[in-house]
Amino acid sequence: MKKKVFFRGPLLTRSGYGEQARFAMRALASRPDLFDIYIQPLEWGKTSWTNEDTPERAWIDRTIEKTLQYIQQNGQFDISFQVTIPNELDKTAPINIGYTAGIETTKTSHQWIQKGNEMDGIIVVSNHAKNTFLATDYQLSNQQTNQTMILKLDTPIEAVNYPAKKFDTLPDVDLDLEYEHNFLVAAQMGPRKNLQNTIKWFVEEFREEEVGLVVKCYAAKNCLLDREMTMQNLRQLISSLGEKKCKVYLLHGDMTDEEMHSLQTHPKISAFLSLAHGEGFGLPIFEAAYSGNPVIATGWSGQLDFLVDEEGKSNFYNVNFDLNQVQPAVVWDGVLIADSMWAYPREQSAKKCMRDCYNDIVNQTEGSVATSACTFAESVQERFSQEKQYKAMVDAVLKFSGNPEEEQWRDVLDQVVEYD
């Protein structure tokens, strides 16, 4: 018997959690024999909403209308599937599943543990997120009885990675880049992505050379004000670095999945650069890896799920780091706690990795990460295929709902999900 699933999440927003919600929705929608889906779209901070005229969007709109009617009729759901940070998880059905990106640091808040323990299952996007949940515990004391107890996650938890996407056709992305070789970084302004150091270290390493850095960035909503604020911040930073021959470009605003893939595979984009302090998964890095772009990245957190192969071999320019306490500016009560740590990339290691990558590209160094990137991309596409990741998501939901599937999994590669 099909389960009625109440799906709540920011699936119509242009955000990491929006991408996460769309993946989960598509995975569950691929099994109409198992799930009857109802949708409540949620906002995600100040991020903009999608406005695409596609069969999928039409199906979502019809499903939202169906959901409103069903709720007005006091309809009941079998499973609540909620995509959000754990603080906001609540119980609205007999079976309650929380799907979150986890955390980019070494420790989760006690609120996340408490809320997680109210769920029947937790799904996260990487093994780093899963291991952080499982490694976190708090010692609580009862002052009246002098008894202590350990608060830890008791709810079952599974890590389900994103799928690599495939595109039949790609639009042209017109980039007016002066030089032949350019690094790409995709990051918002703010402490976690470490964008200021990324730009500073790039300029210092390639100051007198014909190399570019393309910064794909937007602050919040895709609007002119955001663009001007971001441009002003970049100008101030770049002007403080003095005269230079290398170039830094700003690419601001929303891009479709197809446009982002065209950007990743543009002939003048030579490598992808990420010096973030931590990633729940690292979608832009993942997109670079399965697109055949060489990757330079901090060697810690969620991106290791795909940048390290099944034999334990690293397939990226691995930037060394130190684990230190997070900056006070990023502490967020109940979400990102003051005594947690994340990675601080080492300046000299970051510069060396950029230099090594550039030299390997220019010299076509045999056996290097740069020249092996396309071969590695094929293995990433196979390991993280849509078929495998859809199945992993469906299996996790069935496991948490106490309904393990007995029938053989259908070949999703040959299956077209129709939104009728």
Q: Tell whether 392 is covered by a domain.
A: yes
- Which residue intervals of 97-213 are DSSP H helices? 110-116, 127-135, 195-206
Residue keyed to tokens 């007995």: 406
Q: Tell whether 288 is covered by a domain.
A: yes
Do 158 and 305 sit in the same domain of this protein? no
Domain of residue 410, CATH code: 3.40.50
334-379 pLDDT per residue, tens: 999 999 999 999 999 999 999 999 999 999 999 999 999 999 999 9
Q: Tell whether 419 is covered by a domain.
A: no
68-112 pLDDT per residue, tens: 999 999 999 999 999 999 999 999 999 999 999 878 999 999 999
Do 21 and 131 sit in the same domain of this protein? yes
Entry pTM: 0.91
Q: What is the DSSP string of 198-229?
A: HHHHHHHHHTTSS-EEEEEE-SSSSSHHHHHH
* Structure tokens that stand for 31 in this block: 């099994």
Do 284 and 309 sit in the same domain of this protein? yes
Per-residue CA distances from 34 to 94, 224, 390 (Å): 17, 45, 13
Per-residue CA distances from 298 to 46, 282, 321, 336, 381 (Å): 28, 11, 7, 20, 22
What SS3 state is found at 112? helix
The neighbouring-strand residues paired with 409 are: none
Do 99 and 146 sit in the same domain of this protein? yes
pLDDT tens-place values along the chain, 420 residues long? 899 999 999 999 988 899 999 999 999 999 999 999 999 999 987 777 887 788 999 999 999 999 999 999 999 999 999 999 999 999 999 999 999 987 899 999 999 999 999 999 999 999 999 999 999 999 988 778 888 899 999 999 999 999 999 998 899 888 999 999 999 999 887 889 999 999 999 999 999 999 999 999 865 555 666 667 777 888 888 888 899 999 999 888 778 889 999 999 999 999 999 999 999 999 999 999 999 999 999 999 999 999 999 999 999 999 999 999 999 999 999 999 999 999 999 999 999 999 999 999 999 999 999 999 999 999 999 999 999 999 999 999 999 998 765 443 444 444 445 555
Q: Tell whether 169 is covered by a domain.
A: no
Residue of 20, 22, 52 whose CA lies nearest to 37: 22
Q: Tell whether 131 is covered by a domain.
A: yes
Domain of residue 284, CATH code: 3.40.50.2000
CB 254 within 8 A of CB 278: no
Do 56 and 131 sit in the same domain of this protein? yes
The whole domain housing 399 covers 3-163+385-414
Number of structural domains in the chain: 2
